[in-house]
A and B are shown apart, each in its own frame.
Chain A
Amino acid sequence: MPEVIRVLLAKPTHDGHDRGVRYIARKFRDAGFEVIFTTFLVADEVVRMALEEDVDVIGISSSSHGHMPVFEDLFAGLRAHGLDDMLVIGGGVISAKDQSVLQEWGVSAIFGPGSGADDAVGHVRENVRRKS
């Protein structure tokens, strides 16, 4: 596990629902993670920032649909840059049907409405990959 876990939290710029992701950013900081928060139009921006900031974890928040193309492009971009070991988590309002597809694609966990911050912190600590 890296000494200090670096997390990139990203929300589509179109989506006004930032209450959850801004809250979890605070809780991740309280837990000792280094948190970079950003908004984006397309997933490539997230991949680029993940590279620049050398993060261990990417969290995508979505509460207004449109998340499937985002995750699809995100995983393609991560693979293209050799970032296959990135821990990717999701949050917001994502239907059960989409959640099962996303987990097949490699999203490690999705923290929807009603999830506690402690669960998300614990999940990141347990699942973040050791950097080679």
Chain B
Amino acid sequence: MFDKDIIARAERDERDWRQRYDRIVERFGEAAPKRAKGPSTRSGLPLKSAYFPSDLDDIDYRRIGAPGGYPYTRGNLAAQYQMMNWANQPVIGFGLPEDTRARMDALSQQGMTGYFGQNFYNLLYDLVSHEGLDPDDPAARGRVGQCGMAVYSVADMARLFDGLDLAKINVVHITDYQVVPALAQYIAYGRRRGVPAEALRGNTMNYYHQSAFCGMSAFPPEQGHKLAVALIAYCARHMPQWNTTNFVGYDLEETGGNAVQEAGMMLAYGIELVRSCIEAGVAPDLALSRFGFQIAQGNDFFEEIAKIRALRQIWATTMQERFGVSDPRAMHVRIHTHTAGATLTAEQPLVNLIRTTLQAFGAALSGVQAMEVAAYDEAYAIPTEEAATLTLRIQQVIQEETNITSVSDPLAGSYFMEKLTDQMARAATDLAEEIERMGGYIAAQRQGWIRTQIENSAEQWRDQVDSGESRLVGVNCYQSDDHREPDLFTVDERVERIAIERIRAHRQERDAGKFEAAMAEFRAAVGLFAEQPMAGVGDDRLMEAAIAAAEADATTGEMMAAMKAALGWDAPYNFAA
């Protein structure tokens, strides 16, 4: 990227610098810390102690380009935050639907907005729903409305959304594998309100791929993958404003994966998913332009930024070169950052505010589209309202007071950042190619390979913390004797009782004949789906039957029971062949 004279001069500078640097290190001898002698990132990418123009010698400038220009290393659009800040998107969800609604309204008043000033709600379902149960199931005891909202039917949707303009708001439904019943209930609720599916805006998770590394029970990998494609196909035809799939690299890092694994494994799944979409008759341009990414922002400050720049680049180049997509939106990696929950500590919880501020700052420098900043008390419980408001304030201070929103991709051109982005892009691409050689993401999942890789990384990290090699303030250094917990949020005990009363009344009050008929069709559709090859799952029958069942007031537990029976359901560790 530089002419010969500059490179020659820079090489002399580097030699001089290296001599001076080595002398200093030598002076310290054994006392020199590891980062002085053999520095590396958390993923193990080698670092230098200083960077020079010659480090960019083997980087093709065309892989960097301009903000908004292929391959989008520097951002999806020509304007980053100059016209519009990233969207502040806290995750909300606890208690009864009306409890969650109260928090939604409170945060909206505090400036929680999405793109173009729209109201935006990132809504998390509870673990009972995640497991595909209803609140009166024996296994639901103690979990109703905990870690998410107690929403199991169209009636609960009404308690959550009545009075809001469904055609104007954006709703992210944070489910796990109950995405079919949850979306069906939302569509059915919309129809009741006179809003057709075409007009609904929002996201579904559709991330069955997370069962490769997360611990919840799941559908078998191949069935989950078919469900993902079926939903993409349905939305391609009927929900033009709906973002179908969330690539959940975030959870991959949370379970212990590193930045290279996050970028590489998401790319590998992207290849697998687009290939399957083509098989099911969905054009790659159409499928890809409705994908989103939930990406972690962890503690290795520059590596996490390089990860995002590299992911944008390798996604665009891979999708263009492999699948011939041409729509820029089909090459964009639209990122919703979550600051890394796994970096929060229970010790000295207020210190978490400092960690999350740095992470949010890094995400802002990376040019992401939206953010969820974890709350300082999240290592313990659902955030209090004060803690949740502070997560907004962190973003607002960065947006309003630092002036970093004036310049797109401000770290571009840094010898170090460009080199690290290149290293990350190569390592992540290598990992994706390794997975392709194993037969693709689903095959690698079947072999248990993905989980083993992530667990190896998790163990390595923890060993480094226990040995003191990785420092964690308050945990293995700068400890305090003050072990008081912050004032924690608790979910009212009445929530479980009321949710159970409601679901029982709901089953009594619905039209039994209509319900039975709709469930019979849903069971038939699921049974057929279980046997269908990938090429057949784009026929919409499953989603249409699910919507009809939801309109007949089927609950999440009832619909999921039918799906589990037909498709299989087990702890994800048991799928490893």
Query: Which residues of B lie under 8 Å from residue A2 when comparing CB positions?
Result: none
The one of B127, B141, B345, B483 in contact with A15, judged by C-beta atoms closer than 8 angstroms, is: B127
Residues of chain A contacted by B216 (CB below 8 angstroms): 13-16
CB under 8 Å from chain A, chain B span 41-91 = none
A68 to B380 CA separation, bound complex (whole angstroms): 15
| Residues in chain B near residue A116, CB distance under 8 A | 466
Stretch with Cβ within 8 A of B (4 or more), from A18-26, A49-57, A74-82, A100-108 = A18-26
- Asked if A114 is an interface residue, CB under 8 A from chain B, the answer is yes
* B394 contacts chain A at the CB level, 8 A cutoff: no
- Mark each residue of chain A from 1 to 33: 1 if its CB lies under 8 Å from any CB of chain B, else 0: 000000000011111111100110010000000
A69 within 8 A of B: yes
How many pairs of A and B residues are in contact by the CB < 8 Å rule? 95
Expressed in whole angstroms, the minimum distance between the Cβ of A127 and any Cβ of chain B is 21
Are the CB atoms of B346 and A64 closer together than 8 Å?
no
Question: In the complex, which residue of chain B has the Cβ closest to the Cβ of A39?
Answer: B571
Q: Which residue of A lies closest to B141 (CB)?
A: A69
- What chain B residues lie within 8 Å of A70 (beta carbons)? 142
Q: In the complex, what distance in Å separates the CA atom of A108 from the CA atom of B347? A: 22
Contact of B215 among A17, A66, A96, A113 (CB under 8 A): A17
**B469 contacts the other chain (CB 8 A):** no
Contacts of B483 in A (CB 8 A): 96
Chain B, interface size category, equals 35 or more
Q: A23-B459, A39-B215 are in contact. Are A68 and B130 (CB under 8 A)?
A: no
Question: B526-577: which residues lie under 8 A (CB-CB) from chain A?
Answer: 571, 573
* Chain A positions within 8 Å of B571 at CB level: 13, 38-39
How many of A's residues come within 8 Å of B, CB to CB? 33
Chain B residues, CB < 8 A from A26: 455, 459
Within 8 A of B (CB), among A105-127: 112-114, 116-118
**Which of the residues A15, A18, A38, A113 comes within 8 Å of B379, measured between beta carbons?**
A113
CB distance from A59 to the nearest CB of B (A): 15
Given contacts A11-B215, A39-B215, contact A23 B143 (CB under 8 A): no
Q: How far is the CA of A64 from the CA of B217 in the complex (A)?
A: 15
Asked if B254 contacts A14 (CB within 8 A), the reply is: no
Distance between B445 CB and nearest chain A CB, rounded to angstroms? 16
- Once A42-B138, A114-B345, A114-B347 are accepted as A-B contacts, the answer to whether A14 and B379 lie under 8 Å apart by CB is no
Q: Is the Cβ of B342 less than 8 Å from the Cβ of A95?
A: no
- Complex Cα gap A118–B215 (Å): 24
Contact A95 B458, beta carbon cutoff 8 Å:
no
Contact flag A14-B345 (CB < 8 Å), given A19-B254, A65-B142, A65-B143: no
C-alpha gap A40/B475 in the complex (Å): 31
CA distance A117 to B142 in the complex (A): 28
Chain A residues, Cβ within 8 Å of B214? 16, 18
Confirm or deny: B519 has a beta carbon within 8 angstroms of a beta carbon on chain A: no
A-side contacts of B362, CB under 8 Å: none
Q: Is the pair A39, B143 in contact by a Cβ cutoff of 8 Å?
A: no
CA distance A96 to B485 in the complex (A): 8
On whether the beta carbons of B215 and A16 are closer than 8 Å, the reply is yes
> Is B146 in contact with chain A by the CB < 8 A criterion?
yes
* A38, A65, A95 interface centre (most CB from chain B within 10 Å): A65
Q: Which residues of B lie under 8 Å from residue A38 when comparing CB positions?
A: 571
Instruction: Please name 15 further chain A to chain B contacts, defined as beta carbons within 8 Å, in addition to the given A66-B143, A96-B485, sorted by A numbering.
Output: A14-B130, A14-B139, A14-B143, A15-B215, A16-B251, A18-B255, A22-B215, A22-B458, A26-B459, A39-B217, A42-B138, A65-B146, A65-B147, A95-B485, A114-B347
24 A-B pairs, CB-CB below 8 angstroms? A12-B127, A13-B131, A13-B571, A14-B128, A15-B127, A15-B215, A17-B215, A19-B458, A22-B455, A23-B458, A23-B462, A37-B573, A38-B571, A39-B215, A39-B573, A65-B142, A65-B381, A66-B127, A66-B146, A67-B142, A70-B142, A96-B485, A116-B466, A117-B462
